[in-house]
Each structure stands twice: as structure tokens, then as C-alpha cells.
Structure 1
Amino acid sequence: MTDAVLSADHIAAVRERVAGLMPAVRTDLEALTRIPSVSLEAFDPEHVQASARATADLLRAEGLDVEIVAEGGQPAVIGHLDGPPGSRTVLLYAHHDVQPPGSDADWDTPPFEPTERDGRLYGRGAADDKAGIMAHVAALRAHAGNLPVGVTIFVEGEEEVGSDSLPTILQRHGDKLAADAIVLADSQNWTIGVPALTTTLRGLIRVVVTVSTLDHGVHSGMFGGAVPDAVTALIRLVATCHDEEGHVAVEGLSSGEAADLAFSEERLREESGLLPGVSTIGSGSFLTRIWAKPSLTTIGIDAPSVATSSNTLVPTASAKLSLRIAPDEDPDRAFTLLKEHLLAHVPWGATVDIELADKGSGFAADTEGPIYDQARAAFADAWGTDPVDIGVGGSIPFVAAFAERFPDAAILVTGVEDPDTRAHGANESLHLAEFERVCVAEALLLARLGALPRE
């Protein structure tokens, strides 16, 4: 391990400074959370623009040179502050857009009115990922204008809708984002009290499968039994994608192995909400199943609803399939394999159209080297326990985009979430004590990187 020595007094002083900053940091976080910055097209884009302006104001207040950029999508914020001559540069990433809140009836308190209960701050975006923004701001404030490294902060405005304009931003503004280390604050910790670095992410492809069996709907009593309907054909086709044990049955997809961490079936059931009597699927360790193996989910179906259905053989039906792929799998290869499987299993000669909706690469970090050493040390300083390396079964395609654009940078995927955060769901929340530790860890990481000798 390459060490950057911080004295116990230095570490204690950073903890004390961050503790004193937290009331103001929380006030600013709550103000950001009140902005309903949903980036989906169906929502008012002015709220995302307001969120970008508020984020820019926060960075300017810390002395950063700031600009708001939009390359055909929602606005992103870029801010920079030089460090001492010859110092490293650290890029800090977060996103200011949020998921739709869903029905207010599903929330115990209004989604855009941050509310504290039992040590957690509830609100849409309170964790994902406006807490990420404020963790970066808190780390700047902890150094009180005496940053030991150069810092660039990049706060994206469309992460929740796929980061479509990110490649253009990286192409046109990448010189402003170049760094020795990139901290992407959009993941989670292992449990309350145990920090984590996310070192693998699964990739993703989404496809829309449309099955047609008729050129128009016909009476199910007159023709049923001789003529197949599209909904049943679609169901049979999708069902071929799993075997009896629940493994993905698409041949040729890659699989990996997850870290050997204790993760019981009881914890899986509790965190997922799996109903009593419903069995798990697949084989291997649970973490391997959800971090390193492919999984396929039907996330949407276009067909007559129960409430509006009639006694009709439906001519056409569609399903959207989400295929999570191993961290090292090529998305284009995975799409080809899935498409070949579907076309080989079409029931009853139905007509099938398969459209690639979107794709994203996985990520596997190179966890060796002095910057990772200092990250682990900073986490241990903040939590009082060593961090663990985890995978995440979900996909964050922008991580792979940064890795491709900046191949020489150490990429650290961190986060403010915990297993009960419920990001994207109703009653999303931030554990406030853990959030303070996140802020301490990031402030200490900047200090350690500033003290780390260049090789």
C-alpha cells in the first residue's frame, strides 16, 4: 500500500469540521430536494433547469468557476477550482435529476417536501442523487478554501433517463473533466456502518418484442382453438428465456463470480420484499446471481388491460425485456444472442419484430494502485471499519463512458445509499448519520490525495 500519512489530529479535525458543517449542508440538501427535477419528457423541464441553476449557485459559492452546458439534453453543471501547483486533479460526479415520484398515496409524506423520521431524511432525490451533490460540496467546505488538490465537479442532468447526451458532453467538454481520480457518487454502501466501494456493475440491454398472429382481432368463441392470439404467443415466447430453475436460457451469455461476502437468503428476502412461499431463482451464491450473472425481466407489456378486455383474439402484443449482463459482456453481442434465441423459439409461426431500445456497458474496476489505497484508508478513517468491495446488479452506463474517455484515471464508484434507501421507489430516504460519514470520507480522500507523493 502506498500511504499518504494523515495524523490522528488531522483526521479528528476533519471529522469535527464536517460535523459543524452538517446543519447547513442539510439545509442546502433540503432546498435541492424541494425542486421536482424529474428529467422524463412528460415532466416540466423548467424544474430540471432550476435544479441546474441551484447546483451552479452552490458551486460558485465555494469559489468554483462554473458553467451550465446542454448538448441536446438536460442541463449539466461543470465547476472547477485549481489546487496547489503540481497537485492531482479529482473529478467529483453526481446528478441533479430525479425519478418520477409516482403516486403521492404511496408516500408517507409528500415526495418533494423533505421530512425527517427516525434518523432518515425522506424525499425524492434526497439520496439519489442530490445527497451526492451535497457530499461533494461538504468536502469542499471542509477544506475551507485550502484544497489540497484541484477539483472539478460535474453534475449531470439526465442520468435517470439514460445519459443520452453524455457522450457528446464528454467529447466536447472532456478536456475540462480530465482528472487523475474520478469519484462517481451514485452507488451504495454495504450496510449501515459498513462502507463500500462498488467495483463491478452489470451492463444492460432493453428490447421491445412485438408478436403478431392476425391482421385484425376476431371473436374468440368463433375462432379460438384453431387460431392463436398474439398475447398467448408472446407469453410462450418470453417464457422460453428461462429454464425451470429460473436461469436465463439464452445460450452463450457470459457469467462471472461475485465477491465472497456473507449475504443470507433472509437478508435477500427482507431487502427485496420477496413474498412468503415464493422461491428464489437461479443457482450459485445470491450475490453472484444479482451482481455477475445475466438476468432477464419483463418490465412492460402492451396488451388489452383486464378492465377493458373483450372476448377477442388479440392480433398484436408487445413486451419490453430488460436483460442485465455480466460486467465484462459486450452489449451488442448480448443483443445478438437474445435476438437469435427469440427468433429460434417463435411459437406457431407468429410474426416477430425485435427492436433494440437501448444498451449500456458494464464495468469492472482496476482496484489496485495508490488512489484506491487512499480511498480505502479514507473510508476506514470515516467509519472506523474497513470498506468492502461490492458489485451492483443494476447498470450505470455512464461509469463505462467515463472509463472509456479517461482510461488512465482511477475510477471510484461510491455512494450515499444503504439497503433501505429505496431509490426510485416511494419513501426514498437518506440515513443522515451515514451521510455525515460519506462527507467525512470524501473530505479525507481529498486530503490523502493531496498528501500522496507522485510516483
Structure 2
Amino acid sequence: MTSETARRDALRESVEGGIPAALADLGDLVRIPSIAWPAFDQSQVQRSADAVAALATGTGVFDDVRVVRAAIPGSDELGQPAVLATRAARNGRPTVLMYAHHDVQPTGDEALWETPPFEPTLRDGRLYGRGAADDKAGVLVHIAAVRALAETFGDDLDLGLALFVEGEEEYGSRSFAQFLSDNREALAADVIIVADSGNWDLATPGLTVSLRGNARFTLTVRTLDHASHSGMFGGAVPDATMAAVKLLATLWDDTGAVAVHGLFERHSDTPEYTEATLRDEAGLPAGVQPVGTGTILSRIWNKPSITITGIDATSVAAASNTLAPEISVVISARVAPGQGAREAYEAIEAHLRAHAPFGAELTFADVDCGNAFLVDTSGWAVGDAREALAEGYGVEPVDIGVGGSIPFIADLVETFPGAQILVTGVEDPHTRAHSPNESLHVDTFRSAAISEALLLAKVATRTK
């Protein structure tokens, strides 16, 4: 047995032995309701950051561990607390930056949770709780891997390490770019591991190689100066609800595919993925048909989508015989890899203005754009990652696209153009991130931690 093989075996054994402690630490983090929205208790986000900093310090690996806030550009506010831990490389070894986030989504309707959202509950091989997967599990994968690396390498560890655990990813990463600028030297790395994505299935690891961008905005449709009696004027006067319904319907064709001129799609092969799998993973009932054309994964990974995620209108309980003067909706578009998010937003705005019915007045506000991302798979780090994932999971990884967006990766690319970026994660198709009953598959967590430790060990033997 070679020394390298013996070290890999020892590393795997170390990770395996540390999984109970890592899951216990994860449970402690899940108990902290670290929601970055201003309407929630912001002291909990600070508490969460302090807990992550304590975990980083406890590894004994990092030279410096700090809780840091950066300014939000264009305002007098500071962003949410992030954790920054650093260890300098020695003897010409590379540096790896590990990213995750410790803030979580709001719980939504707690009545829909089978167990309390901030009380971690182990059931049928899954750990339930808000943030159990997205993304406090990502934090603990990093911690578990670093712990095992330190135990296995000891004083021979020359690899440079930086840990960046953000505190506002779910709230738009408003201070992210400024944080990178403020801490550029500390964050500079040869390889960046973003632990905030998913896998192909429970047993098969995924390496995310494409992410759609996003363009989100609020549209207000106005047709009247004031509300009017629907009996007195209905049939002659357009109300805002009718105008909005007619306008929004033009965004899709009869198949449900996006019908906006100027939105592009990426042409790329996708793995086999059946309608039955879609129904199972998305919760699509038998009587409801999928929308769009082309392979299912091409619709999710490589084509644009448009979703109405919010509506301000008269509620059913408060309905009256009145013509509504205005209505507001939130439109969330996903942008195909290869197209700029701002360009996509402008195409949607132009479409809506061109199709406004009855001369309705349109107002656009709260525009938020984030660019798509395509991984350069030619670098050595991708090869190392694939090997580590195959060894850690016992199954060859699948290169996957993700229909969601991680806009801050574009900021990482801009700030550190020479770094190789790897997007990994612990989520699986049944994780239900952002939804009630979010959960983490414990065996997937174990495999992810082993894989990351093996990857760090591979990088630790390289020279720059």
C-alpha cells in the first residue's frame, strides 16, 4: 500500500468518524433562525455567524477567524455578518477558497411543516429543518472536510485555505461584491469551491457546470385614476386586473414556453430524464401536463422561464363589485446561460410595453438582475473534483445544469478571473429547499464530506 493510498484511507476514516459530531453541529446551527430579511430578528443572524466562527476556530487550522460586515453599495447600511477564516499556503502549495452561506429562507406557513422548522428532526434517514440542506449543510461539509484534513496531514498540511460563509445569500447578497473588494487579498485563491448546489439523485453526485441567470422586477399595470363601480362602467372601462391578465398571458405560447422575442436559449445535450421523474421530483399531479418543448432538462437548464411569484390585488375575502385601478405583480425570469441578465430584462420590458392592452400604463420597479454562469471544465481542478466525487460517492459524477441562479458567482469570476470555480452541494431532488419540510439526506452529506476532503487532499499535493 502506497503512502498516498494509506493517507486517503486515513482521510476517509477520519471523515466517517467525524460525521456524528458534524451532524450534531449542523443541528445546533439549524436551531438558529438566521433569516436575513429585516422583518425578522436580526440578532439571530449575528448569533449564527458567531456559531460558524466558533466552528472554524475549533478546527485549529486557520490563522485568523473573523466575523465581518461589508457596506451595501449605494446606501448607509452594512450587510449581514459573514465569517472569514484564512490560512496561508506554505511551500508553494495552492490556496482553496470554500464558500457557503449561513442565512436561511423564511419558513412560510409553519402549519405545512410536519415538525418544527427550527428543531432538527431525524426521520427515515433525513434531517429535517430550515437550512438543514440550504446551506448550513454546505457549511458543515467544509468544516468536516477541514477537520479530517487537519487530523490526517497534521503539521504536513501546506495547503492554503480560506473559508467565506456569507450571511445574506437568501436576501440577495447585497454586500457581496463590496465584501470581495474589501477582502480581496484574504480571499484570493487558485480554486474556489461553492457548496450551494445539488446532485443528480440520492446516490449520484453532480458537478454543476451551468446555472441560469435571473431577472426579477415588479410590474404595475394601471388603467384608471380611481376605482369605479363594476356595474356602472363594466363592459366599457378596462379594469387593471383584466388588462394585467391579458398582458401577462402574452409572455407564454400555447405550450407554456416563453414567447418573448430577444430571450435566447443555449443549445447543449442533456442527460436522459423522464416525465415520470419530473412528476416525482416536482410533485406534478397526473392530470397536470408539463409545459414547454424540447427535452425536459433543456427546458430547465438551457431555456428561459418566466414565473409570476407575487400579486398585489384585492383579496377574495375583500372582493367587491369594483373595477380595480391598478394591480402589481412580481415577475421572476430565469435566463439561459450565455445571455446577460440585463439584456434579458430589457427584452421582457420591451415585450410588455409592446403588448400593453387598452393603452394601460406600465411601471417597472425593483429590478434585480444576476448573470448566468458556465463553468470552464478544461482546468485540472475539475478533473480532481470528478475523481474525488467518484471516490467519495462510489459512483461516477454527472455534469449537471441547474435551473436556479447563483448570481454572486459572476462576482467571483470578475474579482478572481484566474481561479478555477467548482460548484458542488449536498441537496438532492427531494430536499425541498426554500419549501416546507426542507431536509438533508444524511448519507449524501457523508459522501459529500468525504469527497471534499479527498479533493482538498488532492489539491494539497499540487504546486502552483
TM-score normalised by L of structure 1: 0.97
- CA distance in 2 between counterparts of 1:430 and 1:211 reads 41
The AA in structure 2 aligned to 1:331 is: A
Report the equivalent of 2:272: 262
**What does 1:353-432 correspond to in 2, within 5 Å?**
353-432=363-442
- CA distance in 2 between counterparts of 1:291 and 1:53 reads 36
1:123 and 1:428 in contact (8 A); partners too: yes
- CA distance in 1 between counterparts of 2:325 and 2:135 reads 43
- Return 5+ residue gaps in structure 2 as ranges: 71-77
- CA distance in 2 between counterparts of 1:70 and 1:409 reads 24
The AA in structure 2 aligned to 1:301 is: I
Report the equivalent of 1:163: 173
Report the equivalent of 1:247: 257
- Return 5+ residue gaps in structure 1 as ranges: none
Report the equivalent of 1:309: 319
1:294 and 1:326 in contact (8 A); partners too: yes
Report the equivalent of 2:206: 196
Report the equivalent of 1:342: 352
**What does 1:25-424 correspond to in 2, within 5 Å?**
25-63=22-60, 64=62, 65-71=64-70, 72-143=78-149, 144=151, 145-146=154-155, 147-424=157-434
- CA distance in 1 between counterparts of 2:254 and 2:269 reads 26
2:93 and 2:461 in contact (8 A); partners too: no
- CA distance in 2 between counterparts of 1:156 and 1:384 reads 31
2:211 and 2:404 in contact (8 A); partners too: yes
| Count, aligned residues | 450
Aligned-pair CA distance for 1:148: 4.4
2:197 and 2:427 in contact (8 A); partners too: yes
- CA distance in 2 between counterparts of 1:104 and 1:319 reads 25
Q: 145-154 or 417-426, which moves further after superposition?
A: 145-154
- CA distance in 1 between counterparts of 2:202 and 2:400 reads 14
Q: 118-127 or 59-68, which moves further after superposition?
A: 59-68
Question: Which runs of structure 1 show a deviation greater than 4 angstroms over 4 or more consecutive aligned residues?
Answer: none
Report the equivalent of 2:75: none
The AA in structure 2 aligned to 1:67 is: R
The AA in structure 2 aligned to 1:61 is: G
1:127 and 1:429 in contact (8 A); partners too: yes
1:335 and 1:356 in contact (8 A); partners too: no
Q: 142-151 or 427-436, which moves further after superposition?
A: 142-151
- Tell me the secondary structure at the aligned position of residue 49 of structure 1: helix
2:192 and 2:421 in contact (8 A); partners too: yes
- CA distance in 1 between counterparts of 2:320 and 2:450 reads 60
The AA in structure 2 aligned to 1:399 is: I
Q: 353-362 or 115-124, which moves further after superposition?
A: 353-362
- CA distance in 2 between counterparts of 1:168 and 1:451 reads 33
**What does 1:430-449 correspond to in 2, within 5 Å?**
430-449=440-459
